[in-house]
């Protein structure tokens, strides 16, 4: 066996612990380590850690709570009452009637409330579908972790465009109500 391919003997490797112990101790590193340990110990006693961890883990919780609170409050305050302060979040505002008797809707500041509510609703639907339906499906198919995200995105896009496309075909054929 040549010298280039032979493994070194253990006697030629210096001892790592003794080499570390000869290094001078630096007090600022020791103080920083103590602060990290104290901070870690204090973090375990906070009462809301479980809730915060769940919110970080499940992206659908916050938009679901926002949409749910607004929707339930809207129902409790009288859903079709014109004076309901939450009505602009759920229903279109600025209703106008043409000379022909057709109902149209104008534009205004309240449209921002309508838009933001439905952003929360559709974000909730998307995140819940991705996490609860498509992620387990991606794991069952045996895809690598790096490919699962793309699989879930593509499946959700397919579901979204299927529902949107079918709605676009059906809605124009529904009878109009005045």
Task: Kindly list the domain boundaries of the chain, sorted by start residue.
Answer: 52-169
Distances (CA, A) of 105 to 12, 68, 82, 115, 118: 85, 26, 15, 14, 17
Q: What is the C-alpha separation between 154 and 156, in angstroms, rounded?
A: 5
Give residue 135's pLDDT: 94
Q: What is the pLDDT along the chain (178 residues), one digit of tens a residue?
A: 555 565 555 555 555 555 555 656 666 777 888 888 777 766 565 677 778 888 888 999 999 999 999 999 999 999 988 899 999 999 999 999 989 888 889 999 999 999 999 999 999 999 999 999 999 999 999 999 999 999 999 999 999 999 999 999 998 888 876 5
pTM of the predicted structure, to 2 decimals:
0.68
């Amino acid at each position: 066996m040549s010298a280039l391919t032979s493994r070194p003997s253990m006697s030629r490797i210096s001892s790592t612990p003794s080499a570390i112990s000869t290094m001078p101790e630096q007090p600022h590193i020791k103080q920083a380590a103590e602060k990290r340990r104290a901070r870690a110990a204090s973090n375990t006693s906070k009462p809301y850690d479980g809730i915060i961890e769940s919110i970080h883990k499940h992206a659908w919780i916050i938009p679901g709570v926002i949409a749910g609170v607004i929707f339930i409050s809207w129902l409790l305050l009288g859903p079709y009452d014109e004076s309901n302060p939450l009505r602009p979040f759920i229903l279109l505002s600025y209703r106008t009637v043409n000379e022909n008797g057709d109902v149209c809707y104008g534009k205004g500041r309240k449209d921002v409330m309508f838009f933001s509510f439905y952003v929360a609703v559709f974000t909730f639907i998307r995140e819940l579908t991705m996490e609860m339906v498509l992620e387990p499906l991606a794991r069952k198919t045996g895809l690598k972790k790096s490919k699962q995200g793309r699989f879930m995105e593509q499946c959700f896009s397919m579901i979204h465009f299927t529902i949107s496309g079918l709605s676009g075909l059906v809605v124009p054929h529904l009878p109009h109500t005045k």
